[in-house]
Amino acid sequence: MVSSFQNPRGTTLPQSRRIALAELAARHGVAILEDDPYGELSFAGPPPRPIAAAGQDNVFYVSTFSKTLAPGLRIGWLWGDASIMRKATICKQAADLHTATLSQRATVALLDRFDYAAHVARICAVYRERCQTMLAALAEHLPGGCRWIAPTGGMSVWLQLPAGLDAETLFPGAIARKVAFVPGVAFFVEDHRRDFVRLNFSNQPPAQIIEGMRRFGEVIAEGLAAL
Ligand SMILES: Cc1ncc(COP(=O)(O)O)c(C=O)c1O
């Protein structure tokens, strides 16, 4: 489960529900795999406390440098009960013959010389501003009937289109205006809803985001007119 700034919805499990979930899983002998690639990208205070921080031996934690350093490094980590870690290591080696040692060494060298905490604080400030810009631009430029979740961290906004619109049908018109989004259907396991989109805000400066959302609003208005 993705506990903080979930992809695609941007939602965060409140602390009380984290504790309740961990207790429930322990009572029923169920393991929790906490997938936390976005937790450090917190805009409203320190990162939420991971479920795994309580140290329960049925909770495993995975994270990555993909969202804070570079996705191309392909470096992440797993934390959990030592007996499982050994087995997980063997399984991973069987699956991919190990994470490249060169990129691991490069990452260690980088972390030795570079102020990672200051870097994360800087990108959080940049992403916070971009997120706020996108939320304001959505409110200003989108036609009525659109709904979205305001995230407090992460990289994207999850948005529901007005009834009757299909994100994939709108996509070519958006691309023609040089605006890209991820049609939400890709995120559904069942009940493949076609009326959601995931909008990224981390990648562009505020002025581009405002113009992009203005154009996105036009695309939606055209879609509504064609219904
Ligand atoms: C929830 C979640 N877990 C994991 C990942 C991928 O991380 P990595 O690049 O380390 O494979 C992503 C990336 O988008 C993600 O959204």
Answer yes or no: CATH 3.40.640.10 is held by domain 15-114. yes
Q: How far is the CA of 38 from the centre of ligand 1 (A)?
A: 9
**Which pLDDT band holds residue 83 (cuts at 50, 70, 90)?**
confident
Which residue intervals of the chain bear CATH 3.90.1150.10?
118-225
Residue 20: closest CA among 56, 44, 46, 47: 56
Asked if pLDDT for residue 200 goes beyond 90, the answer is yes
Is the CATH number of domain 118-225 3.90.1150.10?
yes
> What DSSP letter does each residue of 22-83 carry, written as one string?
HHHHHHTT--EEEE-SSTT-BSSSSPPPPGGGG--TTEEEEEESTTTT-GGG--EEEE--HH
Confidence grade of residue 69 (pLDDT, cut at 50, 70, 90): very high
Q: Which mutation among 4, 12, 35, 63 tests ligand 1's pocket best, with the greatest number of atoms within 8 A of CB?
A: 35
As a whole number, mean pLDDT of residues 207-215 equals 98
* Distance from residue 37's CA to the centre of ligand 1 (Å): 6
Residue spans in the chain of domains classed CATH 3.40.640.10: 15-114
Confidence at residue 187, expressed as pLDDT on a 0 to 100 scale: 97
What is the chain's mean pLDDT, rounded? 97
pLDDT for 55 equals 86
- Which residues have any ligand 1 atom within 6 Å of their CB? 2, 7, 35, 37, 64, 66, 71, 76
Does this model's pTM top 0.85? My answer is yes
Ligand 1 centroid – CA 2 distance (Å): 10
Atom of ligand 1 nearest to the CA of 66: 9
Ligand 1 mutation target, pool 66, 96, 198, 203, most atoms within 8 A of CB: 66
Alpha carbon of 141 to ligand 1 centroid (Å): 30
pLDDT in tens, 101-119: 999 999 999 999 999 999 9
Please report the pLDDT score of residue 102 as a whole number.
95
Give the gyration radius of the chain's Cα atoms.
20
Atom of ligand 1 lying closest to residue 76 CA = 10
Distance CA 227, CA 163 (A): 10
Please answer whether residues 147 and 189 qualify as being in contact, where contact means their C-beta atoms are separated by less than 8 angstroms: no
